[in-house]
Amino acid sequence: MSPSIKEISTKPFDGQKPGTSGLRKRVKVFQQEHYTENFIQSIFDSIEAKGATLVIGGDGRYFSPETVQTILKIGSANGVAKFIVGKDAILSTPAASNVIRKYKAYGGILLTASHNPGGPDKDFGIKYNVSNGGPAPENVTDKIYEKTKTIQSYKIIEAPPVDLSKIGEFSYGPSQVSIIDSVADYVVLLESIFDFPLIKSFLTSHSNDFRVLFDGLHGVTGPYAQALFVDKLGLPKTSVQNCVPLPDFGGGHPDPNLTYAHTLVEAVEKNGIEFGAASDGDGDRNMIYGKGAFVTPSDSVAIIAHWADAIPYFKNGVKGLARSMPTSKAIDLVAQKKGFEYFEVPTGWKFFGNLMDAGRLSICGEESFGTGSDHIREKDGLWAVVAWLNILAAANRDSPNKLLGINDILHAHYETYGRSFFSRYDYEEVPSTGANALVAHLNLALDSKSLDNSTHTSASTGQKFTVSNLYNFAYTDPIDKSVSKNQGQVITFDDGSRVVFRLSGTGSEGATVRMYVERYVAPEAGAAELKREAADGLKGLIEVALELSKLKDFLGVDKPTVIT
């Protein structure tokens, strides 16, 4: 007998506006009576899920299991026919994108706050994805937000909690629930993309001089990494670490960069590991880092694009390449050389989705440690790691006498294309007034053209930089023609260097200002110049950028909080 549907009265909460990556707040906020229920009902009020199939997954962070039960109860009361749920409430963001596409679901709800810390006093998030497997576009999230402002009641069935640890199909009130293995479909997907036999034979024959270490940072990727690296590729168990997903990520900050992924950095340095990698809480970001070799995300995507031929998925050709605006132009150079169409989109993975759906984009990436392709509609951390292993295996197949590592791939790329030195300075949680004043200062220079053609000399290096242009980045989507304005202020210099200032769209306290610096050095500059440390190659430009923006004065800080 179907349980009766109850209607519970509630009142709207302020601030339930989902960003690109859903609604993200402290766990305590979500735990308020009716808060989570209101938001979930508002999702169902904004979509047509009656009779549909919905995927539920997430990174397993604190408050996820409870929220899965809430979604099941409210979703069932709202007429969802079938739920596909990752075992133990776990599906990485890329795996969920794949499951939505593979089983032709109507959409999915992902419980994650990505790379932000988890636990009772930390962050939680609820994100809605649509049927192409990508994040809901703004017209959907705006609708959800409007509903949260007027909600008066939510519908719910009364049912005992579903045992999320049992794989299988169950009836649940008027609906069906299918608990699936979180990992299996994703492994099948990656096996269909990459040359696993080649990678395996390379890794097996170099078990002593090409060691791999993947750090899951206690996020969701642990079981995926175990399945891929240990079970499929035959690597020893010691090649994965921190691979048990924990609700609080072991107290860490699950973000793969040189600062937060220190467990990886330390282990790689201590043991001289040739190939290290990490992913974030929900598995969509990645960092590639071996002994003495750090791959900036901007270079990473350019190199993957250059080597696309080595990856079976791209055997039939690459449809196009793309990067977010602040990402270095390294990938543009690959597109130009190989004759691919290429795009510069605003920051945010959602901007790649339309191009992929239209068949014009195959490989793309962002400086914010996101890399991926049109195999799904989210960025994909483990995809990038396996792509690198595939590339290294292919490069070594063609180099029988010398073992090639990360740095060899990097330097060969620079010798062909030149190098785009790139760095990002983050000023986190600065007062909004200062951040806004900095933006206004640059807008004033834009309007008055006061910086145009001005030359700035670095005090320490003596390099001169002459401003060639200053503009506010705006984007018209080539497919749906939607316009996104004010996506960052760009200053270009006559040597091709570039500085971008942008306010983060993901911070939770105050404002976060990001300064992105890029300086191109042509192959003719020679190996010594191309091999310099990024900080060294960018020193003069960074000084000039800080001086002409007056950033330190506006923000009242001397040093960035994070440098990547």
Residues classed as catalytic: 114
88, 255, 274, 284: residue in contact with Zn ion (rule CB under 5 A) = 284
197, 505, 526, 556: residue in contact with ligand G6P (rule CB under 6 A) = 505
Q: Measured from the CB of residue 375, what is the shortest distance to ligand G6P in angstroms?
A: 17
- 332-351 residues in contact with ligand G6P (CB under 6 A) are 347-349
- 132-191 residues in contact with Zn ion (CB under 5 A) are none
The entry of Zn ion, ligand G6P, none near residue 282 (CB within 5 to 8 angstroms by kind) is Zn ion
Closest residue by Cα to residue 291 from 182, 208, 221, 211: 211
Query: How far is Cα 180 from Cα 72, in angstroms, rounded to an integer?
Result: 15
The entry of Zn ion, ligand G6P, none near residue 420 (CB within 5 to 8 angstroms by kind) is none
C-beta closer to Zn ion: residue 350 or 519 = 350
Query: How far is Cα 5 from Cα 110, in angstroms, rounded to an integer?
Result: 24
b (16+ CB within 10 A) / e for 91-112: bbbbbbbbbbbbeebbbbbbbb
- Which of helix, strand or coil describes residue 324? strand
262-270, 296-304, 362-370, 432-440 -> range binding ligand G6P (CB under 6 A)? 362-370
189-197, 289-297, 444-452, 499-507 -> range binding ligand G6P (CB under 6 A)? 499-507
C-beta closer to Zn ion: residue 280 or 367 = 280
Q: Verify binding: residue 506, ligand G6P, rule CB under 6 A.
A: yes
Q: Measured from the CB of residue 58, what is the shortest distance to Zn ion in angstroms?
A: 11
C-beta closer to ligand G6P: residue 107 or 348 = 348
Q: Where are the beta strands (DSSP E) in 52-122?
A: 53-59, 82-86, 90-91, 107-111
Sign (positive or negative) of CA dihedral 263, 269, 272, 278: positive
If one counts every other C-beta atom within 10 angstroms of the C-beta of residue 269, the result is: 13
Pairing of strands 175-180, 82-86: parallel
Q: Verify binding: residue 368, ligand G6P, rule CB under 6 A.
A: yes
260-268, 330-338, 364-372, 440-448 -> range binding ligand G6P (CB under 6 A)? 364-372
- Which of helix, strand or coil describes residue 214? strand
- Do residues 348 and 286 lie in contact, with contact meaning Cβ atoms separated by under 8 Å? no
C-beta closer to Zn ion: residue 42 or 347 = 347
Q: CA-CA distances (angstroms) from residue 263 to 224, 257, 474?
A: 19, 11, 39
Q: Verify binding: residue 463, ligand G6P, rule CB under 6 A.
A: no
C-beta closer to ligand G6P: residue 253 or 539 = 253
Q: Verify binding: residue 374, Zn ion, rule CB under 5 A.
A: no
88, 280, 380, 518: residue in contact with Zn ion (rule CB under 5 A) = 280
Q: Measured from the CB of residue 99, what is the shortest distance to Zn ion in angstroms?
A: 17
C-beta closer to ligand G6P: residue 117 or 348 = 348
Query: How far is Cα 355 from Cα 427, in angstroms, rounded to an integer?
Result: 32
If one counts every other C-beta atom within 10 angstroms of the C-beta of residue 557, the result is: 17
User: How many residues at the interface with ligand G6P, by CB under 6 A?
Assistant: 14
Query: How far is Cα 441 from Cα 53, in angstroms, rounded to an integer?
Result: 50
- Scanning the structure block, which residue is given the tokens 């075992």? 87
If one counts every other C-beta atom within 10 angstroms of the C-beta of residue 379, the result is: 27
Q: Measured from the CB of residue 285, what is the shortest distance to Zn ion in angstroms?
A: 5
Query: How far is Cα 244 from Cα 220, in angstroms, rounded to an integer?
Result: 8
Q: Measured from the CB of residue 441, what is the shortest distance to ligand G6P in angstroms?
A: 20
Query: How far is Cα 392 from Cα 451, in angstroms, rounded to an integer?
Result: 45
The entry of ligand G6P, Zn ion, none near residue 347 (CB within 5 to 8 angstroms by kind) is ligand G6P
Angle, CA of 367, 368 and 374, to the nearest 5°: 80
Q: Measured from the CB of residue 506, what is the shortest distance to ligand G6P in angstroms?
A: 4
Q: Measured from the CB of residue 555, what is the shortest distance to ligand G6P in angstroms?
A: 16
C-beta closer to ligand G6P: residue 114 or 257 = 114
The encoded tokens of residue 268 equal: 């790689």
The encoded tokens of residue 423 equal: 């760095």
59, 255, 282, 374: residue in contact with Zn ion (rule CB under 5 A) = 282
Tally helices (H) and strands (E) across the chain: 19, 28
- Do residues 426 and 512 lie in contact, with contact meaning Cβ atoms separated by under 8 Å? yes
**Which single residue brings its beta carbon nearest to ligand G6P?**
504
Closest residue by Cα to residue 504 from 420, 560, 441: 560
Q: Measured from the CB of residue 135, what is the shortest distance to ligand G6P in angstroms?
A: 8
The encoded tokens of residue 231 equal: 């079970």
Query: How far is Cα 464 from Cα 85, in angstroms, rounded to an integer?
Result: 57
Q: Verify binding: residue 370, ligand G6P, rule CB under 6 A.
A: yes
Q: Verify binding: residue 362, Zn ion, rule CB under 5 A.
A: no
- Do residues 521 and 530 lie in contact, with contact meaning Cβ atoms separated by under 8 Å? yes
Q: Verify binding: residue 366, ligand G6P, rule CB under 6 A.
A: yes
Q: Verify binding: residue 21, ligand G6P, rule CB under 6 A.
A: yes
- 85-114 residues in contact with Zn ion (CB under 5 A) are 114
8-16, 100-108, 269-277, 501-509 -> range binding ligand G6P (CB under 6 A)? 501-509
5-13, 40-48, 128-136, 275-283 -> range binding Zn ion (CB under 5 A)? 275-283
Query: How far is Cα 136 from Cα 140, in angstroms, rounded to an integer?
Result: 6
Interface with ligand G6P (CB under 6 A): 20-21, 114, 324, 347-349, 366, 368, 370, 504-506, 514
Interface with Zn ion (CB under 5 A): 114, 280, 282, 284
